């Protein structure tokens, strides 16, 4: 597989997704970026902006087995991981896998389940395995969790703990479409005569694994590695933060930067790759000082300030070797060909500047009602605040 083939494969996938998700190429690029980096995704936005549709469409276009879990207060861990039952024919114990045994698992409204159920995902997300009834079972490959949260309803919710927030490689929103894009969305729905849009399968699960393996071969020079550490260290030293990103944040920044370089047809990481994904990668990993939270400062603003202040290095050292396509592993299967979808969005074909990866602003709330997106890293609301 060459650099151009990797870029073509991801472009085909994005083009197919845009048949359903109109005018959101930057968000789709970020989600595919996280998929190539073999990470999990947290979508946090108001209802009706296609959070579930994005997850379902991604699984369909990429040939991955899809499972959806609706998180509710009465959900128990066994409903996710599976359980052992006695078969009616032989009365022998048999393990029945839960929905987590899929390639792409959608945890819808993940903050509505109690902490015990939320924690059932921790081992699966981090270790790619499930332990049930004293037996450890491997999860399929690839394995990606997409969690969703609704920021405008707080009644009966359980904020995700920092330990689980940190398991998500990125956190991002989607935002409302522009006027022209929403008109286009309506006309497409009127034309096809059904709510469900049919997408072509442009990749297979093996193709996704091959792309993830290719990303692991993308070169990172020593100056860029130092730059990643400097950005993360700056979040810890900022006077606005109580706690900055951990070394897991540094590794997440590395993985996303390599995946973004691969999506752009490059075999090495540029500082611009780090800048472009710093906000969705790091904002949910930091805790703000209480006075900053009260003043309405957002974690995204702090990461944006940090990136602007830390000087960027040269991309490659003078004597640094950059890996060539000849050294890359071959995929298990070649991506299937696909015709163009014929629905370009404003002529945009490449990911936008870093500023367009910020999470969109949420609608104003009534006075005195806290908003989950404003809480950095799951920080609890001030005392005496209504839930």
- pLDDT, one tens digit per residue, over 208-226 is 999 999 999 999 999 999 9
**Pairing verdict, β 40-44 and 144-149:** parallel
Q: Does 309 fall in a domain?
A: yes
pLDDT, tens only, 338-374:
333 333 333 333 443 443 434 444 444 444 433 334 3
- In the chain, the number of structural domains is 2
Domain end, chosen from 318, 340, 370, is at: 318
Verify that 222 and 207 share a domain, yes or no. Answer: no
Burial status of residue 227 (CB atoms within 10 A of its CB: 0-12, 13-18, 19 or more) = buried
What's the confidence (pLDDT) of residue 164? 77
What value does the mean pLDDT of the chain take? 81
CATH of the domain at 284: 1.10.8.80
**Two tokens at 62?**
């990429």
Verify that 142 and 18 share a domain, yes or no. Answer: yes
Quick count: other Cβ atoms within 10 Å of Cβ 25? Answer: 22
What's the confidence (pLDDT) of residue 274? 96
| Positions in the chain whose pLDDT score sits under 70 | 315-387
What's the confidence (pLDDT) of residue 319? 52
Verify that 163 and 238 share a domain, yes or no. Answer: no
Q: How far apart are CA 250 and CA 232, in angstroms?
A: 6
Verify that 281 and 141 share a domain, yes or no. Answer: no
What's the confidence (pLDDT) of residue 316? 61
Verify that 27 and 148 share a domain, yes or no. Answer: yes
pLDDT, tens only, 271-299:
999 999 999 999 999 988 888 878 888 99
Verify that 148 and 29 share a domain, yes or no. Answer: yes
CATH of the domain at 43: 3.40.50.300
Name the residue range of residue 245's domain. Answer: 218-318
Verify that 117 and 73 share a domain, yes or no. Answer: yes
Verify that 39 and 118 share a domain, yes or no. Answer: yes
What's the confidence (pLDDT) of residue 330? 43
Nearest to 263 by CA among 32, 1, 95: 32
Verify that 172 and 225 share a domain, yes or no. Answer: no
Verify that 160 and 227 share a domain, yes or no. Answer: no
Quick count: other Cβ atoms within 10 Å of Cβ 217? Answer: 15
Longest dimension (CA), the chain: 70
What's the confidence (pLDDT) of residue 96? 87
Verify that 163 and 82 share a domain, yes or no. Answer: yes
């Amino acid at each position: 597989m060459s650099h151009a083939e990797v870029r073509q494969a991801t472009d085909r996938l994005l083009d197919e997704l845009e048949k359903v998700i109109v005018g959101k190429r930057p968000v789709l690029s970020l989600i595919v970026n996280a998929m190539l980096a073999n990470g999990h995704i947290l979508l946090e936005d108001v209802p009706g902006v296609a959070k579930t549709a994005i997850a379902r469409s991604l699984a369909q276009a990429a040939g991955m087995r899809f499972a959806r879990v609706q998180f509710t207060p009465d959900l128990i861990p066994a409903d996710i991981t599976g359980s052992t039952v006695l078969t009616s024919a032989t009365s022998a114990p048999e393990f029945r896998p839960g929905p987590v045994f899929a390639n792409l698992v959608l945890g819808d409204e993940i903050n509505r389940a109690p902490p015990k159920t939320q924690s059932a995902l921790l081992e699966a997300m981090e270790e790619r395995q499930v332990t049930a009834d004293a037996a450890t079972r491997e999860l399929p490959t690839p394995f990606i969790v997409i969690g969703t949260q609704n920021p405008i309803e707080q009644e009966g919710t359980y904020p995700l703990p920092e330990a689980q927030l940190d398991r998500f490689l990125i956190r991002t929103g989607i935002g409302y479409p522009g006027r022209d894009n929403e008109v286009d969305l309506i006309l497409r729905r009127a034309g096809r005569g059904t709510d469900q849009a049919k997408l072509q399968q442009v990749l297979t699960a093996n193709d996704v694994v091959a792309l993830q393996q290719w990303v692991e071969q993308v070169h990172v020079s020593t100056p860029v590695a130092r730059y990643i550490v400097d950005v993360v260290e700056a979040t810890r030293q900022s006077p606005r933060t109580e706690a900055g990103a951990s070394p897991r944040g540094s590794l997440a920044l590395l993985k996303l930067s390599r995946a973004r370089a691969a999506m752009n047809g490059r075999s090495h990481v540029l500082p611009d790759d780090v800048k472009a994904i710093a906000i969705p990668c790091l904002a949910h990993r930091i805790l703000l000082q209480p006075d900053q939270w009260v003043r309405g400062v957002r974690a995204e603003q702090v990461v944006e300030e940090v990136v602007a202040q830390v000087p960027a290095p040269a991309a490659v050292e003078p004597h640094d070797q950059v890996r060539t396509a000849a050294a890359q592993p071959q995929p298990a299967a070649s991506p299937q060909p696909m015709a163009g979808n014929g629905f370009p969005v404003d002529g945009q074909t490449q990911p936008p500047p870093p500023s367009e990866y910020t999470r969109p602003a949420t609608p104003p709330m009534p006075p005195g009602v806290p908003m989950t997106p404003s809480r950095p890293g799951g920080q609890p609301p001030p005392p005496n605040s209504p839930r």
